[in-house]
Amino acid sequence: MSHFSQIKTQIRNLDSLKDALTELGIDWKPGPREVRGYRGQTHPAEVTIEQENGYDIGFRWNGKEYELVADLQYWQQNLSVDGFLRQVTQRYAFQTVVKETARVGFQVAEQQKNEDGSIRLVVQRWSA
């Protein structure tokens, strides 16, 4: 019986996911790699986060998005699973917006982190 849980996300861009994890100071390994779980069980993932207890967290492409894969019984992060995903998703969204706006000629003019944790981002583009 597998102890792995798969949690759906809205994360679809692997590069933005990697950048978000890096920005959050999370030490991740590129895949494909195996996420280690209960009794030596493994699960394939494109990004793996090793935990000190020997059980990993991963992000796996399911055909639509990168879902979080982990044995939640051995979750060993500073935040809850929901808190962790909220933080990763926020940084992922930030990375995606910055990359997409840069691709169409915009630059970040202002960035402000609000007390509620939200981010205010102002982008601009100069035209000739």
Specify the pLDDT at position 108: 87
123: left (phi over 0), alpha (psi -120 to 50) or beta: beta
The model's pTM:
0.85
How many beta carbons lie within 10 A of that of residue 89, not counting itself?
15
pLDDT in tens, 101-128: 989 989 888 988 888 888 888 889 887 6
* φ, ψ for residue 92, nearest 5 deg: -60, -45
Distance CA 57, CA 35 (A): 6
Distance CA 84, CA 125 (A): 33
Q: Respond yes or no on whether the N-terminal peptide bond of residue 32 is cis (omega within 30° of 0).
A: yes
Closest CA to 111 of 26, 23, 25: 23
pLDDT in tens, 28-87: 999 899 999 988 889 999 999 999 999 999 999 999 999 999 998 999 999 999 999 999
With a CB cutoff of 8 Å and minimum separation 6, the contacts of 1 are: none
- 70 three-state secondary structure: strand
